[in-house]
Structure 1
Amino acid sequence: MAFLEITGLRKRFGSLEILKGIDLELEKGGFLVLVGPSGCGKSTLLNTIAGLETISEGDIRVDGRAIGDLHPSKRDIAMVFQSYALYPNMTVAGNISFGMEMRGVPVAERKTAIDKVAKVLQITHLLDRKPSQLSGGQRQRVAMGRALVRDPKLFLFDEPLSNLDAKLRVDMRIEIKRLHAATGTSIVYVTHDQIEAMTLATKIAVMRDGEVQQFGTPAEIYNNPTNLFVADFMGSPAMNLLTATIEGTGNDLHVSLARPDAEPLRLPAAQVQSLAPYAGKQVIFGIRPEALTDPDGADRNARQLVEGDCLIDVVEPAGSDTFAVTKLGGKEVVARLRADVRIVPGQNARLAFNLDKAVYFDPQSERRIA
């Protein structure tokens, strides 16, 4: 049985429905990330789990116990907010122990808990400081310590890194991942940053307009997106999504991609059975930048590796990689090449397409077809 179970969850504000039948589950010790654009309902969903918002329909269960009607204080859940919500007049130790003090936990027990959590978070040297004397990353650790010291059944994180600069976000992401591995806690984490989602999660729920578009492991979400929204939202750089025509009949199908000032590029179509109904019609052809590269850098274990000439518009050296921009199917396409590859804007270059990684979508329904 799943540790966290959300079934048929709906949330309405008057006639406006924010959550539209959410079904999710998380194993004990798992890390569930709710990801999606602003306004998709992910924070509202987190707040219903915490008890900060009532639910209109459905059920939430934690460790087999229904919590949908329980007061937040009775749910055994700890939440880390985006704003940290630290008491400015208290020391770090005071902030961490405040909840225990309110519950009447003895002083000696409180000190033991503070020392243990401070050691895990590497903030022992900060215990006598006030929040105003801390950096953003240190404040975030204190907020996490205040949650950890309670030893709850479930931790909720509401965009905890969004107020930090880019480098500190990377550092704190590593800290959160290390903390999860060390403590084995169950976590639900909200973010709009798909890199955070991919690196932290054991399971990801991609949300849009109050609905879960896809739920699965990071690898499933990245490699097998169920629709155009998930394919476009997850990944940096984003997946190339191109208008293509399926040509041929029977088992001899090809994907035709328009090229400027040249004949269309024709690639053999994989998943022929699924694409057969689209012969003579347009589809959306999806391929990620790392599956479109220079021939010497291509995956030699690929079953279907096809090369084609493309006119290069822009070259972007990025240290460990080189990104090249070309045009196919009427859109700009990003290819991810080796760092030392020799490629010149304005000239044709040979690119290798790893068609094992290609996906296809219906232009009208936007659902995956192959």
Structure 2
Amino acid sequence: MAFLEIVDLEKSFGNVRVLKGINLEVEEGDFLVLVGPSGCGKSTLLNTIAGLEPISGGEIRINGRVVNDLAPAKRDIAMVFQSYALYPNMTVAGNIAFGMEMRGIPKAERDRKVAEVAKMLQIDHLLDRRPSRLSGGQRQRVAMGRALVRDPQVFLFDEPLSNLDAKLRVEMRTEIKRLHSSMGTTIVYVTHDQVEAMTLATKIAVLKDGVLQQFGTPDEVYNDPANIFVADFMGSPAMNLIPARVDAGAAEPMLVLDRGSEEPLRLPLNGAAPKLANAVGGDIFFGIRPEALTDPDSADRTASHVAHGECTIEVVEPTGSDTFAITRLGGKPVVARLRADARVRAGEPMRLAFNLDKTVFFDAKTEQRIA
């Protein structure tokens, strides 16, 4: 039995269905990240788990207990909000201890827990300050500390890092991951940032328009996307999704990619050929991550199938650790990830290596994965 179970969950606001039959099973100690674009329903799903929003159908179970009709205080959860929600007239210590004080926990026990959590979060030197004298990262640590002293069954985080600058977000991501590793508590975490999701999660649920698109490990969601939406949403830069066709006229089936005025680029299908038998002559999308499309010297030496093709480079983007080169295939810009010192110039042809072990194919009409 899963520790947190979401079964056929429905949520409507009036006549608008916001969550549409969501099913998730989370094991104890998992770090589940709910990810998707704005308006996809991820925060609403988190709020239904917390009990802040009533559900319209289905069940929510925590540790085998149905909590549909339980008040938030009875669900044994703790929530960290995007807005921190600190009391401005209280010190850091007072903010962290407030919930325990309301539950009648003795002062000695409160003080012990506050000191323990403050040390863990490296804010023990700030206990006498008020929130107005704290940085954004320090305020977020206080909000986390207030949740941690609860020692709940499930932690819920609602985009806790979105108000922080980029450098501080990276630091706090590391802090949250370290805390999860040391405590092992079940966490459900909402973000629109797919890099954040990949970094933190043991499981990822990708939502779009209130529908669960895919649920799996970060590796499964990244390398084996269920559909075009997941392939495009997860990854930075995003997966290249190239219009293509399958040609069975040669000795072996070939993938054909248009190159404008030049001859089409033809790549072998290898192991994907049987799954694409029904796509011969039809339109498909060929998916390849930028790191699987690179200069020949950087190609994965362990790959079973690597094909090469000459492509005209339109734009070169050095980033320090890598160089991104943009070419055009199937009428769309395609990003290749090259080594930092790769010899590449805009307007010139370059031989690129396609790691065919890392490619996926989607039906052009349904946008679902076919191989």
Band of TM-score, shorter chain: over 0.9
Following TM superposition, the consecutive aligned residue runs of length 4 or more in structure 1 with deviations greater than 2 angstroms are: none
SS in 1 for 2:276: helix
Q: Is the 8 A contact 1:42 1:190 kept in 2?
A: yes
Whole-angstrom distance in 2 between the partners of 1:61 and 1:250: 56
Deviation at 1:260, TM superposition (A): 2.7
Q: Structure 2 counterpart of 1:57, which letter?
A: G
Distance 1:263 1:245 in 2: 14
Residue of structure 2 in register with 1:180 after alignment: 180
CA contact (8 A) 1:3 1:25 kept: yes
Once residues 161 and 5 of structure 2 are traced to their aligned partners in structure 1, the CA distance between those partners, rounded to angstroms, is 26
1:314 corresponding residue in structure 2: 315
In the other structure, the counterpart of 2:155 is: 155
Q: Does 1:342 align with 2:350?
A: no
Aligned equivalents of 1:317, 1:367: Cα separation in 2 = 34
Report what 1:200 is aligned to: 200
Match for residue 360 of structure 1?
361
Aligned residues: CA RMSD: 0.9
Aligned partners of 1:135, 1:227: CA distance in 2, in Å?
Answer: 41
1:269-296 CA distances to partner (integer Å, 9 max, x unpaired)? Answer: 1311110111111110110000000000
Question: Does residue 42 of the first structure (1) align with residue 39 of the second (2)?
Answer: no
Q: Structure 2: any 5+ residue segments left out of the alignment?
A: none
AA partner of residue 327 (structure 2): T
> What is the CA–CA distance in structure 2 between the aligned matches of 1:293 and 1:107, rounded to whole Å?
61
The alpha carbon displacement at 1:249 in A equals 5.2
Partner of 1:136: 136
- What is the CA distance between 1:245 and its match in structure 2? 1.0
In structure 2, give the amino acid aligned to 1:239. M
Q: Deviations over 1:188-208 (max 9, x none)?
A: 000000000000000000000
**Counterpart residue type for residue 85 of structure 2:** A
Q: Does structure 2 conserve the Cα–Cα contact (< 8 Å) formed by 1:249 and 1:276?
A: no
Task: Supply the distance in 2 between the matched residues of 1:52 and 1:203 (Cα, whole angstroms).
Answer: 23
* 1:291 equivalenced with 2:287 (yes/no): no
Other structure's SS at 2:245 match: strand
Q: Distance in 2 between matches of 1:119 and 1:11?
A: 40
Deviates more, 1:270-279 or 1:48-57: 270-279
Structure 2 residue 229 is matched with structure 1 residue 229: yes
Which amino acid is 2:199 matched to? Answer: T
Question: Is the aligned partner of 1:111 residue 2:111?
Answer: yes
1:18-69 deviation per Cα after TM superposition (whole angstroms, max 9, x unaligned): 1000000111111000000000000000000000000111111111111111
Counterpart check, 1:280 vs 2:281: yes
Give 2:359's aligned amino acid: A
Q: CA offsets per residue over residues 183-230 of structure 1, 9 Å max, x none?
A: 111100000000000000000000000010000000000000000000
- Please list the CA deviations of residues 162-183 of structure 1 after superposition, one character each: whole Å capped at 9, or x if unmatched: 0000000000000000010111
Q: Distance in 1 between matches of 2:261 and 2:164?
A: 46
Whole-angstrom CA distance in 2 between matches of 1:40 and 1:6 = 17
Aligned residue-pair number: 370
Alignment correspondent of 2:302:
301
**1:87 counterpart = 2:87:** yes
Q: Is the 8 A contact 1:86 1:131 kept in 2?
A: yes
- 1:98 deviates by 0.2
5+ residue gaps, structure 1: none
Larger displacement relative to structure 2 (35-44 or 250-259): 250-259
1:137 touches 1:168 (CA, 8 Å); kept in 2? Answer: yes
> Does structure 2 conserve the Cα–Cα contact (< 8 Å) formed by 1:251 and 1:272?
no
Q: Percent same amino acid at aligned positions? A: 70
Alpha-carbon distance in 2 for matches of 1:38, 1:345 = 36
Deviates more, 1:341-350 or 1:212-221: 341-350
The CA distance in 2 between the partners of 1:286 and 1:220, in whole Å, is 15
- Calculate the TM-score normalised by the size of structure 1: 0.99
d(CA) in 2 for partners of 1:149, 1:364: 51
Structure 1 residue 251: Cα displacement: 7.8
Shift of 1:250: 9.3
Query: Does the 8 A contact of 1:250 with 1:276 survive in 2?
Result: no
For 2:266, the equivalent position in structure 1 comes to 266
Deviation at 1:9, TM superposition (A): 0.4
Indicate conservation of the 8 Å contact 1:249/1:279, yes or no.
no
Structure 2 residue aligned with 1:242:
242
Name the SS for the 2:253 alignment partner. Answer: strand
* Structure 2 residue 256 is matched with structure 1 residue 256: yes
1:17-36 matched pairs, under 5 angstroms: 17-36=17-36
Structure-2 separation of matches of 1:343 and 1:261: 21
**8 Å contact kept, 1:302–1:356:** yes
Q: Distance in 1 between matches of 2:118 and 2:180?
A: 15
Contact 1:22–1:212 (8 Å) recurs in 2 = yes
1:334 and 1:29 map into 2 onto residues whose CA distance is 37
AA aligned to 1:108 is A
1:365, 1:249 → 2: CA distance?
A: 25
SS in 1 for 2:230: helix
What is the distance in 1 between the residues matched to 2:181 and 2:249? 52
Aligned residue for 1:40, secondary structure, equals: coil
For residues 216-273 of structure 1, the C-alpha deviation after alignment (integer angstroms, 9 at most, x for no partner) is 0000000000000000000000000010010015981111001132100000013111
Write the distance in 2 (CA, Å) between the matches of 1:189 and 1:98: 23
